[in-house]
Structure 1
Amino acid sequence: MVEQPANVDAAVNTPVVVDSNDDGTVAQELELEHMRSTLEEAIMETRSTPLENRPRVPRIALSKRNRAVVRALNPMLVTYLEASRDLCETNSILFGAALAVCRIIGVKVSTAGRATGHSSAIPAWSR
């Protein structure tokens, strides 16, 4: 699949991947709505998951497409962050956003929580 160039919406300065087969408006709205629903779902999931059971979020490559996804999600976070009451809730929102980015770009996220896997692993110093 060929990576499409990211167009920037001048009104909001939000880059979005646009399908070159149409005028861009419909694809842009669908893409933003998909991102918004993925973000909402990830935040709600993160809020209900204890910290020790959250998955590990991997580092992502700094490609143009990945940066465009992050730039598109940033303005959506403002509403959630303004309503945040404390640091724990802010943490859940930001972790949910990181999880949403991974899901949108198709990066596999470990389903095992942080507490599992490390307790039985042999420490690096002993190997």
Structure 2
Amino acid sequence: MKTWLVNTNTKERNGNPNAFKYMLRQNKAAAFYDRAPEVDKISKGDLVCLYHNQNRIIAIGAVVAPYLGHDFGDYEEIEHWVDVNWLWKAELDADYEPMNSIDRHDLGITMVNGTVVNVTEQVNYKVLLAKVAERQSF
């Protein structure tokens, strides 16, 4: 099992500031356009931390299906994704700002250089589980 940080790329200049809503609603971790093939490294059983701007993790989940390709049109170059069972998602306010995100630094993640980053060796899993438990709402 590996742990991946997947950037939601919500900055306006990236062309899809609402991608994080799509990923959370559709139970996906995705990358788009020239970064799309980076998702292909993620395997079933891996852990995904969905990374939002300002060092915030807004969802953590287990991959239930790897990227299997598209069965429609020319979308292969636009989006690749893995199906994720979100184990925890941050609460969002009316403006879709995360209210209880997890700071990646608190988990020991210091290196974020790309859209899909293997952070397996960086994550403190004991802290990760504690942070998730603190933020669970029922």
Please, what TM-score do these two structures have when normalized by structure 2?
A: 0.23
* Larger helix share, 1 or 2: 1
Structure having greater relative contact order (Cα 8 Å, sep ≥ 6) = 1
